[in-house]
């Protein structure tokens, strides 16, 4: 099993990178320890260790009863080295902008619907920049305002994605150290600050179209700027091979949880059907490279969920899901938190699978579509197969990572998505997937993309209703179902 990044290291590296990239200016305060704990899903002890390390590095100042502040006068990179470093990461930077140009419009439109933007914390500063230009406050107020909008939408995955974008976009360099970019994008009347006026509109379809245009212009400007820097730099650096990374389960991705999710997925897909025995504990321990105690903890959770039963001297057998046990689990706060995370992942997938499917659609060959249709069988979950197929055609690494990580969260909830009234659910979804693929065969990529998004939308509606009516999880009633954009 892949080694885990320590909680300390990922929090430390992320906060340090935000400081060095200028996302948090010298003299400004970091979020409170409580907010950092919530953002990174770690303990106060870990946050305190991180802050102490940042202070030892001379990056922050810590005073009693005050939030840690970024130390003034931090010497980052000089201009020539910055250009060189940017060009070393040219490919991943451009792919980040291309990816977020696809997924940010639907996320922002969805989160801003029926939202009083004027009451958000960074609205006034963002509007000042919008009126007077970037010189009135830089790119940070509009960027923080965008984060406010995604937070108010209630789905933490949205804002986590947005913050990850900030780690890779190098916007400080482009807006403050690159005159070429400022001249060709920031001085244009339809710059990034125009996003604020768009979001104040009422028609979601119009907002989506306008935001898509702005993000496309931003991406084009970044691409042109990177080309200009390449052409005017005497020695072009070798690409570093830096990979885009987004792990929404950081701080929660324990080894036993990964085993639970994978076994849960295999049970849901029928790889381990009712009446089959799972591999012995020692076999699972060797397979996942973990201790026997970790395997036993994973099997114990599966048994608590009512999916398996351990028989003394025989092993662990897959059983029909026990709804009584699931109802008991629903009273557990930790389980409720996971259920909310699952619904948020479904909500996110509804919004991002459409642009992903549109990107993938032109890559399909007639032979591949014929083979895909032949693979569908009556006892399989077609939605799983079509997602794998779409991801195979995604060439944008950040988009692939986001889809993969979102789908990983969805693995937790196969018992919600496919077991209640399983036959009816699967037959409906399978028909939808077949219809969507047929649309693609006829050359209608938009209908194909809409059809796949409708499958996840259907799951969200069904599972939300099931959680409320059967398990009395009232706090999921506020989770909205995205419209079609």
* DSSP strand pairing (60-61 vs 69-70): antiparallel
* Residue 130 contacts residue 142 (beta carbons within 8 Å): yes
pLDDT at 404 > cutoff 50:
yes
**φ, ψ for residue 317, nearest 5 deg:** -110, 145
* Residue 71 contacts residue 30 (beta carbons within 8 Å): no
Q: 420, exposed or middle or buried, with CB in 10 Å at 0-12, 13-18, 19+?
A: middle
pLDDT at 2 > cutoff 60:
no
Mean pLDDT, the chain, as a whole number? Answer: 84
* Residue 376 contacts residue 429 (beta carbons within 8 Å): no
Cα 261–Cα 305–Cα 299 angle in degrees, nearest 5: 60
pLDDT at 7 > cutoff 60:
yes
The model's pLDDT over 295-333, given as tens digits with 9 standing for 90+, comes to 888 888 888 777 888 888 888 998 887 666 666 666 665
Where residue 155 falls among pLDDT bands split at 50, 70, 90?
A: very high
Please give the radius of gyration of the chain, using alpha carbons only, rounded to the nearest integer: 24
Helices (H), ranges, 306-396: 323-329, 333-360, 366-375, 382-392
For the ranges 77-91, 154-168, 234-248, 397-411, which has the lowest average pLDDT?
77-91
**Strand ranges (E), 114-196:** none
**φ, ψ for residue 51, nearest 5 deg:** -65, -40
pLDDT at 387 > cutoff 90:
yes
Question: What number of other Cβ atoms are within 10 A of residue 364's Cβ?
Answer: 19
* Residue 289 contacts residue 318 (beta carbons within 8 Å): no
Q: Which residues, other chains included, contact 320 with Cβ-Cβ below 8 Å and sequence gap of 6+?
A: 274
pLDDT at 421 > cutoff 70:
no
The model's pLDDT over 425-473, given as tens digits with 9 standing for 90+, comes to 778 888 999 999 999 999 999 999 999 999 999 999 988 988 888 777 7
Where residue 76 falls among pLDDT bands split at 50, 70, 90?
A: very low
Give the pLDDT score at 415.
Answer: 67
β-sheet bridge partners, residue 18: none
Render 280-326 in DSSP notation, one character per residue.
PHHHHHHHHT--HHHHHHHHHHHHHHTSEEEETTTEEEE----HHHH
Query: Which is more confident, 45 or 334?
Result: 45
Give the pLDDT score at 77.
Answer: 40
Cα 21–Cα 409–Cα 414 angle in degrees, nearest 5: 170
The model's pLDDT over 204-258, given as tens digits with 9 standing for 90+, comes to 999 999 999 989 989 999 999 999 999 998 887 888 877 898 988 766 656 777 7
Please write down the long-range contacts of 56-59, taking CB distance under 8 Å and 24 or more positions apart.
Answer: 57/16, 59/16, 59/19
pTM above 0.75, yes or no: yes
Q: 477, exposed or middle or buried, with CB in 10 Å at 0-12, 13-18, 19+?
A: exposed
pLDDT at 139 > cutoff 80:
no
- For residues 87 and 96, what is the distance between their CA atoms, to the nearest angstrom? 14
- For residues 286 and 307, what is the distance between their CA atoms, to the nearest angstrom? 22
């Amino acid at each position: 099993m892949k080694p885990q990044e320590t909680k300390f290291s990922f929090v430390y590296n992320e906060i340090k990178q935000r400081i060095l990239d200028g996302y948090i200016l010298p003299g400004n305060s970091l979020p409170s320890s409580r907010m950092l704990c919530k953002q990174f899903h770690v303990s106060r002890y870990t946050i305190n260790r991180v802050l102490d390390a940042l202070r030892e590095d001379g990056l922050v100042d810590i005073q009693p009863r005050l939030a840690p502040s970024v130390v003034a006068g931090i010497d980052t990179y000089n201009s020539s080295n910055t250009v060189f470093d940017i060009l070393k990461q040219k490919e991943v930077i451009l792919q980040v902008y291309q990816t977020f140009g696809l997924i940010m419009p639907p996320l922002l439109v969805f989160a801003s619907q029926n939202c009083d933007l004027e009451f958000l914390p960074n609205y006034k500063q963002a509007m000042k920049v919008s009126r007077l230009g970037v010189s009135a406050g830089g790119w940070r107020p509009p960027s923080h305002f965008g984060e406010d909008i995604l937070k108010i939408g209630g789905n933490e995955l949205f804002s986590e994605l947005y913050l990850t974008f900030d780690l890779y976009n190098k916007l400080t360099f482009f807006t403050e150290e690159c005159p070429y970019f400022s001249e060709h994008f920031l001085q244009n009347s339809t710059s990034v600050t125009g996003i604020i006026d768009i979001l104040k509109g009422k028609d979601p379809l119009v907002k989506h179209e306008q935001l898509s245009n702005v993000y496309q212009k931003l991406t084009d400007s970044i691409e042109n700027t990177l080309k200009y820097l390449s052409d005017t730099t005497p020695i072009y650096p070798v690409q570093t091979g830096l990979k885009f990374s987004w792990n929404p389960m950081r701080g929660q991705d324990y080894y036993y949880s990964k085993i639970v999710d994978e076994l849960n997925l295999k049970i849901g897909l029928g790889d381990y059907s009712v009446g089959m025995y799972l591999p012995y504990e020692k076999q699972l321990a060797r397979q996942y490279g973990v201790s026997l105690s970790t395997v036993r903890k994973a099997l114990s959770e599966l048994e608590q969920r009512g999916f398996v039963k351990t028989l003394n001297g025989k092993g662990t057998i897959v059983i029909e899901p026990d709804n009584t046990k699931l109802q008991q689990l629903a009273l557990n706060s930790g389980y409720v938190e996971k259920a909310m995370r699952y619904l948020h992942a479904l909500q996110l997938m509804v919004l991002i699978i459409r642009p992903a499917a549109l990107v993938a659609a032109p890559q399909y060959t007639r032979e591949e579509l014929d083979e895909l249709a032949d693979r569908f069988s009556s006892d399989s979950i077609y939605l799983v197969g079509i997602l794998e197929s779409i991801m195979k055609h995604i060439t944008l690494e950040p988009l692939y990572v986001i889809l993969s990580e979102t789908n990983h969260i969805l693995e937790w909830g196969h018992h919600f998505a496919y077991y209640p009234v399983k036959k009816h659910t699967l037959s409906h979804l399978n028909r939808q997937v077949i219809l969507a693929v047929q649309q693609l065969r006829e050359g209608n990529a938009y209908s194909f993309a809409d059809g796949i998004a409708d499958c996840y939308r259907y799951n969200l509606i069904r599972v939300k209703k099931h959680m409320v009516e059967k398990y009395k999880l009232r706090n999921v009633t506020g989770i909205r179902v995205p419209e079609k954009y």
